[in-house]
């Protein structure tokens, strides 16, 4: 298929094939499944590591795990911004302005780390 509308026709045929595959798969599942699936005793019981579950299902999670995850995401985002900056830094006309902008960015991140350190968030007890 060539021309301007040929690309749309190809996309339309692909979408039609995907819908037909989806409908066929779910129809086959409905036809081939057992009419009354068995529900043996213990099928819906919790299972972990080969041991029978003991106690309740509620467990308290400490907030420090979330804080460490948040700090990791913060540093990962910082790294994502540092790599393009390093690629642009050596181009003409980007020198002083680029260093100033990245200095402000790193200073804000450093202030966040300093705040977390002063509040003893980074201490693992």
Q: Is the pLDDT reported for residue 102 higher than 70? A: yes
Cβ atoms within 10 Å, residue 38: 6
CA distances from 38 to 4, 27, 28, 52, 62 (A): 55, 21, 20, 22, 40
The confidence score (pLDDT) of residue 2 equals 67
Domain containing residue 69: 4-119
Q: What is the pLDDT of residues 12-51, one digit of tens each?
A: 999 999 999 999 999 999 899 877 767 776 666 666 666 6
Calculate what percentage of the chain has a pLDDT beyond 70. Answer: 80
**Residues 97, 108: Cα–Cα separation, whole Å:** 17
The confidence score (pLDDT) of residue 89 equals 73
- Residue 115 has which token pair? 């705040």
Q: Report the pLDDT averaged over residues 111-120.
A: 85
* Nearest-10 Cα torsion for 27, 29, 33, 37: -110
Q: Is the pLDDT reported for residue 60 higher than 80? A: no
**Residue 48 placed within a domain:** yes
**Residue 125 placed within a domain:** no
What CATH number is attached to the domain comprising 14?
Answer: 1.20.58.1610
Q: Report the pLDDT averaged over residues 60-79.
A: 80
**Residue 74 placed within a domain:** yes
The confidence score (pLDDT) of residue 120 equals 81
**Residues 69, 75: Cα–Cα separation, whole Å:** 10
**Residue 124 placed within a domain:** no
Q: Considering its fold, how many domains does the chain have in total?
A: 1
Question: Chain-wide mean pLDDT for the chain?
Answer: 80
The confidence score (pLDDT) of residue 24 equals 97
Q: Report the pLDDT averaged over residues 83-91.
A: 76
How far from the centroid of its chain's Cα atoms is residue 2's Cα?
A: 39
Q: Report the pLDDT averaged over residues 75-84.
A: 80
């Amino acid at each position: 298929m060539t021309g301007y509308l040929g690309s749309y026709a190809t996309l339309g045929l692909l979408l039609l094939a995907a819908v037909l595959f989806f409908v066929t798969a779910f129809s086959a599942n409905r036809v081939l499944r057992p009419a009354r699936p068995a529900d043996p005793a213990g099928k819906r019981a919790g299972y972990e590591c080969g041991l029978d579950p003991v106690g309740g299902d509620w467990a308290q999670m400490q907030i420090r795990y979330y804080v460490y995850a948040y700090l990791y995401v913060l540093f990962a985002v910082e790294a994502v911004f540092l790599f393009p900056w390093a690629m642009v830094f050596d181009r003409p006309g980007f020198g002083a302005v680029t260093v100033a902008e990245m200095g402000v960015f790193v200073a804000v991140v450093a202030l966040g780390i300093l705040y977390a350190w002063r509040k003893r968030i980074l201490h693992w007890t």
